[in-house]
Amino acid sequence: MKYFATVFIVVISVFSMKGQTYEVGGFVGGANYIGDIGKTNYISPSDIVVGGIFKWNRSSRHAFRASILVAGISGDDEDSDETRRQQRGYNFKNTITEFSLGVEYTFWEFNVHSGQPESTPYLYTGITYFNYDALYKRPGSNLIIEYDQAGTLAIPMVVGYKATVGTKLVLGFEIGARYTFTDDLDGSNPVKDLADDDGLKFGNINSDDWYVFTGVTLTFTFGRKPCYCNF
pTM of the model: 0.87
Contact 23, 57 (CB under 8 A): yes
- pLDDT tens-digit map of 53-108: 999 998 889 999 999 999 999 999 999 999 999 999 999 999 999 999 999 999 99
List, in order, residues 6 or more apart from 48 with CB less than 8 Å away.
28, 29, 30, 31, 71, 72
Low-confidence ranges of the chain (pLDDT < 50): 3-5, 7-8, 10-19, 230-231
Nearest to 70 by CA among 93, 52, 53, 51: 51
d(CA 2, CA 69): 15
Taking CA 194 as the corner, what is the angle to CA 46 and CA 82, rounded to the nearest 5 degrees? Answer: 40
- pLDDT tens-digit map of 100-112: 999 999 999 998 7
Every domain of the chain and the residues it spans: 2-222
d(CA 42, CA 212): 8
Q: So what's the pLDDT on residue 60? A: 87
Q: What is the CATH number of domain 2-222?
A: 2.40.160.20
